[in-house]
Chain A
Amino acid sequence: MRTPPIAVLTVAALVLAGCGRPADTPPSAAQASSSIAEGPATGDLTIWAMGAEGEKLPDLLKDFETANPDVKVTVTAIPWSAAHDKFTTAITAQKTPDLAMVGTTWMGEFAGLGALDPTPSSIDKSVFFPGAWGTTEVSGTSFGIPWYVETRLVYYRTDLAEKAGITTPPTDWDGLKAMAKAMQDKAGAKWGINLQPGGTGSWQTVMPFAWSNGAQLNNGDQWTFDSPEMTEAVQYYQSFFTDGISNKAPAPNSTVEPPFVDGSQPMFISGPWEMSAVEKVGGKGFADKYTVMPMPVKKTSSSFVGGSNLAVFKNSQNKDSAWKLVQWLATPEVQVKWYQLSTDLPSVQSAWQDPALASDTKLATFGTQLKTAVAPPSFSTWEQVAAKFDTEIEKVAKTGEDVPTALKTVQSEAQSIGTGN
Chain B
Amino acid sequence: MAAPTVAPAGPLPVSAPPADPQRTQRRRRHPGEARAAWTLAVPFTLLFLAFTVWPVFQSLFMSFTDTKQKDLRTPFQVNFIGVANYARALGDPVFVQAAANTAYFVVVGVPLTLAIALLAAVALDKGITRLRAVFRLGFYTPVITSIVAVAVVWRFLLQPDSGLVNTVLAWFGIDGPNWLGEVKWAMPSLIAMATWRNFGTGMIIFLAGLQSVPPSLHEAAAIDGANAWQRFWSITFPLLRATLLFVSVTTAIGYLQFFEEPFVMTSGGPLNSTLSLSMYTYNQFGYGNYGLAAAMSYLIFVVIAIVTALQFRLLRENT
Contacts and interface: CB of A to CB of B under 8 A. Distances in A.
A398 B270 contact: yes
B269 interface: yes
Contact of B180 (A251, A383, A391): A251
Contact of A20 (B78, B159, B160, B266): B78
Contacts of A21: 77-79
A16 B265 contact: no
B70 interface: yes
Interface centre among A252, A394, A395, A398 (most CB of B within 10 A): A252
A176 interface: no
A383 B65 CA distance: 22
Nearest to B64: A16
Contacts of B72: 88, 91-92, 113
A387 B94 CA distance: 12
A384 interface: yes
A19 B79 contact: yes
Contacts of A199: 267, 269-270
Interface in B37-90: 61, 65, 69-70, 72-73, 76-80
A249 B266 CA distance: 12
Nearest to A253: B155
Contacts of A94: 73
Interface string A1-43: 0000000000000011011111000000000000000000000
A251 B161 CA distance: 9
A251 B178 contact: yes
A216 interface: no
A122 to B, nearest CB: 29
A419 to B, nearest CB: 13
Contact of A16 (B80, B180, B267): B80
Contacts, number: 81
Contacts of B167: none
Contacts of A113: 69-70, 72-73
Given A253-B155, A395-B271, A15 B73 contact: no
B272 interface: yes
Nearest to B271: A394
Contact of B159 (A92, A200, A251): A251
Contacts of A250: 181
A109 interface: yes
A68 interface: no
Contacts of B155: 251-253
Contacts of B271: 198, 391, 394-395, 398-399
Given A381-B287, A384-B287, A252 B73 contact: no
A43 to B, nearest CB: 26
Interface string A109-139: 1001100000000000000000000000000
A380 interface: yes
Interface in A200-224: 200
Contacts of B78: 19-21
A198 B183 CA distance: 14
Given A20-B78, A113-B70, A394 B160 contact: no
Contacts of B286: 84, 383
Interface in A82-97: 84, 88, 91-92, 94
B286 to A, nearest CB: 8
A21 B77 CA distance: 5
A398 B273 CA distance: 13
B259 to A, nearest CB: 16
Contact of B70 (A84, A112, A252): A112
Nearest to A383: B287
Interface string A233-256: 000000000000000011111000
A357 B140 CA distance: 55
A200 B269 CA distance: 10
B283 interface: yes
A249 B288 contact: no
B288 A15 contact: no
A8 to B, nearest CB: 9
Nearest to A388: B94
A92 B181 contact: no
Interface in B213-270: 265-267, 269-270
Nearest to B76: A19
Given A109-B69, A113-B70, A252 B266 contact: yes
Interface in B281-303: 283, 286-289
Contact of A252 (B61, B80, B265, B287): B265
A249 B61 CA distance: 43
18 contacts: A19-B65, A19-B77, A20-B77, A20-B80, A22-B77, A88-B72, A91-B72, A92-B73, A109-B70, A113-B69, A113-B73, A198-B271, A250-B181, A251-B181, A252-B266, A252-B270, A380-B288, A398-B271
Interface of A: 15-16, 18-22, 84, 88, 91-92, 94, 109, 112-113, 198-200, 249-253, 380-381, 383-384, 387, 391, 394-395, 398-399
Interface of B: 61, 65, 69-70, 72-73, 76-80, 94, 155, 158-160, 178, 180-182, 265-267, 269-272, 283, 286-289
Given A20-B78, A249-B182, 7 more contacts: A19-B77, A21-B79, A113-B73, A252-B181, A252-B266, A252-B269, A381-B287
